Structure 1
């Protein structure tokens, strides 16, 4: 990897770049990322101004290496724990303190993939039957009579055969080989690069990263390949450059990097927090695809629909009734300023659409480093109380398990 100038900044922070630090290809890639809301690049008289939005990670360009550290909500030493919680995968041993050097988040994810691949090798790679056609000096498997007659014209010095053998060259292993190769291009640690290079040879590779992603999207887990799920989770994160199914969406950007959108991560965290918190009390999350969204008819264009990030079905005081509670994830500093009017209108609409008329309530969950917090907003009109909005600040310095227990005690 060629030497690149290190540029470090935190989310929502900016850094100045010289004119010659960005190539035309870099500018195109940064503008593509700007269109996705990851960062902002503006031209100045003597250079460039690069500003990170709610994004953390690593971006490898032609002449510079950009490291964006988490600053606002989730501290660096807890980022991997919360990410693993949102993805439903075991917390890797790489969930250490955020590095202030040029490795950072990318090396943590690469290390998590390395850890899982080493475990798979110790347990033994999965093998499956693979059909192949080959030209052999002796008969193995079945003789391909048609190919032998049309290609060898009766000669028997080489035989066209069809075999059906158990091999490790299957898609479960190919996607890991491709992800290990992608991790090599991102890491800046010699020790990690050496370990990744050493293990990459043990896994076959997919023809292209796109082919590996398509294979991951159609993978179904059974008892035969269930142990591959954690490794595939980290592989998907690396191959998508930070995106993951139901967490971020890959838009085909070609820049080498591993960028994580923090609002999308927080939404995934809140969905699992709420689901896990109400489970012991008889509650459950309402699936998003069951057609219970709030719809708007009669406007120009198509009918629009919207729904909260999480809709919980909770047992009521009357055992014959259940309550629908809308929960929305807000990646905002609601520990420092009041809830915006737009968010109050949004949550009041949710409570009116889902909650019972005599108990209209909704929940906002936001990150609050340093301690849990709870406050209650009362929405009133000329005729009295219209609804209640519970604003819950989750302590991101704590472990996800402790946050789950606190959310459960509040929602109960």
Structure 2
């Protein structure tokens, strides 16, 4: 079959996770090299299968829409929690998710921006620099000397303006522009265009490619939710080279990265809170061999009493027994390199009980733990993480 209007629709898992479509050789090559999806077959009919990317990705002249297996509110919670565990609450979203990931996020952002700016645009002091024949504010001696080489006029002056053209408003406006460039944002487009019109005459959008730094304060409290969601949108929509070597743009999350970040941050937080001793290292760099040739980077290392007590690695998918065996060898290498007797592999699955393997002649225990991200309540997800923290810390055998 042909992609409808250049769009290939998939689900992350299940029956809709693959489809057969007619593509040109160039289209198939670009999709394959992007690594957003798996591409096999040819020379005309190709089997397209989802990997671990969800959202909307533009690859060449095609769009790939991949629906996540977990709810959109849960996905945004996982992404947001990794950035700031103290402020993200799943229940705040409260939207109909049937429209899909991009329309839901756009609608949520439009609502949060409306809440933020309804009392009026936030204002603040911003230092302005300009050349002027009238002395206004302070003379910038350094700029005067370097720009005018001893001439008296014009003056290089700077002054503080109380203006809405501050980083918070500029960031929100730039995020609105990003969303308006995305395909399929649905009914949120009208609200975003109105907000763009209201802000555009007073605010210059943030022009940088990096997320701007803003400081949460009492004064900008009503902006906090919108700004934090703006950060999520920028991370998901920045034009970039995706998992492969082909430039990919759109709005998408790489689920293995979302899962890895969430598990390490949430587990590290619980280990420190529950035990109040020791410390954690993320992506800890160590060497496997005495010659220092083989580099290892376990996701989380738990230190207690001055030595490594446990090592943890998070993997989003463990689909086959051969995958499990390879990952167990990887955890074993971490344990050997760090001289610890406990290794833990954590993966996303709902139907797999925890298991333990004792390595012959070594006394090393390798633990497998599954975490159900799609569980019906956040309380249950928290209980799973508390149980996992007890296992890693040694409080529960």
TM-score (norm 1): 0.72
Aligned equivalent of 1:18 = 22
Aligned equivalent of 1:403 = 381
- Partner secondary structure for residue 85 of structure 1: helix
Give the one of 344, 349, 355 matched to 1:363. 344
1:267: how far off? 0.3
Q: Deviations over 1:26-62 (max 9, x none)?
A: x49x72x644532234572334443321111112468
Give the one of 193, 198, 205 matched to 1:197. 193
Q: Deviations over 1:377-406 (max 9, x none)?
A: 22213xxx5311111111222244432333
Q: Distance in 1 between matches of 2:93 and 2:68?
A: 16
Counterparts in 2 of 1:328 and 1:142: CA distance versus 1, 3 Å: closer
Give the one of 321, 329, 332 matched to 1:345. 329
- Partner secondary structure for residue 374 of structure 2: coil
Partners of 2:285 and 2:298 within 8 A in 1: no
Counterparts in 2 of 1:36 and 1:388: CA distance versus 1, 3 Å: farther
Counterparts in 2 of 1:142 and 1:355: CA distance versus 1, 3 Å: closer
Aligned equivalent of 1:379 = 359
1:170: how far off? 2.8
Structure 1 range deviating more: 234-243 or 323-332: 234-243
1:141: how far off? 4.7
Q: Distance in 2 between matches of 1:369 and 1:236?
A: 30
Give the one of 270, 274, 286 matched to 2:280. 286
Give the one of 111, 115, 122 matched to 1:125. 122
Q: Distance in 2 between matches of 1:19 and 1:37?
A: 16
Aligned equivalent of 1:234 = 229
Aligned equivalent of 1:7 = 8
Aligned equivalent of 2:299 = 309
Q: Distance in 1 between matches of 2:318 and 2:97?
A: 22
Residue 298 (structure 1) aligned with residue 291 (structure 2): yes
Aligned equivalent of 2:81 = 85
1:131: how far off? 0.8
Give the one of 268, 276, 295 matched to 1:275. 268
Aligned equivalent of 1:317 = none
Q: Distance in 2 between matches of 1:292 and 1:64?
A: 39
Partners of 2:242 and 2:248 within 8 A in 1: no
Flag structure 1 segments of 5+ consecutive residues without an equivalent: 315-319
Aligned equivalent of 1:44 = 42
TM-score (norm 2): 0.74
Matches within 5 A, 1:142-157: none
Q: Distance in 2 between matches of 1:230 and 1:163?
A: 31
Runs of 4+ in 1 over 6 A off after TM superposition: 142-146, 158-161, 248-253
Give the one of 225, 234, 255 matched to 1:262. 255
Flag structure 2 segments of 5+ consecutive residues without an equivalent: none
Q: Deviations over 1:301-333 (max 9, x none)?
A: xx442221111235xxxxx67652111101124
Q: Distance in 1 between matches of 2:68 and 2:328?
A: 27
Q: Distance in 2 between matches of 1:253 and 1:62?
A: 9
Q: Deviations over 1:254-285 (max 9, x none)?
A: 54411211111110111123123322232565
Partners of 2:346 and 2:368 within 8 A in 1: yes
- Partner secondary structure for residue 298 of structure 1: coil
Partners of 2:54 and 2:66 within 8 A in 1: yes
Counterparts in 2 of 1:162 and 1:182: CA distance versus 1, 3 Å: same
Q: Distance in 1 between matches of 2:383 and 2:175?
A: 35
Partners of 1:81 and 1:95 within 8 A in 2: no
Q: Deviations over 1:114-159 (max 9, x none)?
A: 34423332465252223143779x986579998xxx9xxx99xx99
Q: Distance in 1 between matches of 2:353 and 2:158?
A: 66
1:230: how far off? 4.7
Give the one of 194, 215, 231 matched to 1:221. 215
Partners of 1:241 and 1:256 within 8 A in 2: no
Q: Distance in 1 between matches of 2:73 and 2:55?
A: 14
Counterparts in 2 of 1:389 and 1:36: CA distance versus 1, 3 Å: farther
Partners of 2:355 and 2:368 within 8 A in 1: yes
Counterparts in 2 of 1:400 and 1:294: CA distance versus 1, 3 Å: farther
